[in-house]
Structure 1
Amino acid sequence: MGHLNTGREMLCRIGVWILLYRIWSIYGATLVSTGRIDSCLEFDGSNDYVSVLAINTNDITFSAWVYRDSTNTVDTVFNGMKYNADNQLKEGFLLRFLAGNMLQLMLTSENDAGTKAYQSSYFVLDNTYQQEWIHVAFTYNKVTGEQKLYVTGELKDTDAHPVGNTISPLVSYSEMQIGSERTGNFFHGKIDDVKVYDTALTEEDIAEMYVKDCRF
């Protein structure tokens, strides 16, 4: 499936595990034919992940289909973050599931002077989302300062940064990771059709993306 006809650049897509414009490497994850769209990667929850050259952009849209084998673990979907207890030392963003079936988006932004702001968005999925494919997405829009978290094409949470802030770039590491937080919280299950855009798609775009994928 191609991306939406928005005229916006898709920085990368991993569907049949093709990555455009980016260098990537698979560590341990297994290519299987039982994906949501086509083929996908299966992660064992122990040490499997995909390494992607760091994607630093002012605005972003990320989406993926995920299938968790258990809701009792912390499962990282996409890690583009350097975490620190001090918000001024944080970088980038992170999308993961917490134990208890809670989806979390962490994102750090900064203004032209380098002063940073941090927000965490959440959505708790009910028991109907166990051991089935789920579409997850998030966006950040520098014009509005809003980060938005989506599940199955629906907006679930919105948090605000100062208007005009851009995403704080990940400079501490040269790579981002699918399925890992570098030293733990490895994803246990399957991930399919990862997409990253260099702009914030609208709520209508996200809903359309989900509906189109559901036709497969």
Structure 2
Amino acid sequence: MQLKWLEWAKQIQAISQAGLAYSKDMYDLERFEMLRDLSVEILSEYTGVEQEQVRSLFAGEKGYATPKVDVRAVVFRDERLLLVREKVDGDWALPGGWADIGLSPKEVAAKEVLEESGLIVEPVRLLGVLDKKFHDHPPEPWHVYKMFVLCEETGGEAQAGMETMEVGFFPKDRLPPLSQGRNTLKQVLWLFETKGISQEVRLD
């Protein structure tokens, strides 16, 4: 669900961030700072979150504004998909999280699976890259690309991690309640269909 005020706030924030990074004129810098303040005020007004908290989470970055990258690992055991139950909301998601500086997508996928499920995997193929704004995720202040990486289980033992409560493998017709901010039902069902498609995509 896309909210116009949220889209406007994100665009204003991106414009102000780029302007503050590249402008040399002191008056332009002042105007870009005013734009950043406006984006913070809009988000605070509509969400009820204090402006200082919004500023630290939403408007604290420097340099050219780019989308965030969320890497999700796709691990099948027979015809069942690996999901982990998140502590933050009690619902289930593909193992994954924000891409880390210094790690390739395949390294992020393997790290997240180990940390969240206790399993060791070998990433083998990129299944897809999706823009969250075109899918039924709850609104959020960032523009996010989602990468789905198919992985093969090679070892380890299923166990919950610091951010997860449970670990399980689920068939397509018996999926648990999903964490909508992380993966939608439509996306998960798509993964069951996509995993068998043969293609070569580098993940380094």
TM-score with structure 2 setting the length: 0.22
Task: Kindly name which structure, 1 or 2, has the bigger radius of gyration based on alpha carbons.
Answer: 2
In proportion to residue count, which structure has more strand?
A: 1
**Which structure is richer in relative contact order (CA contacts within 8 A, separation 6 or more)?**
1
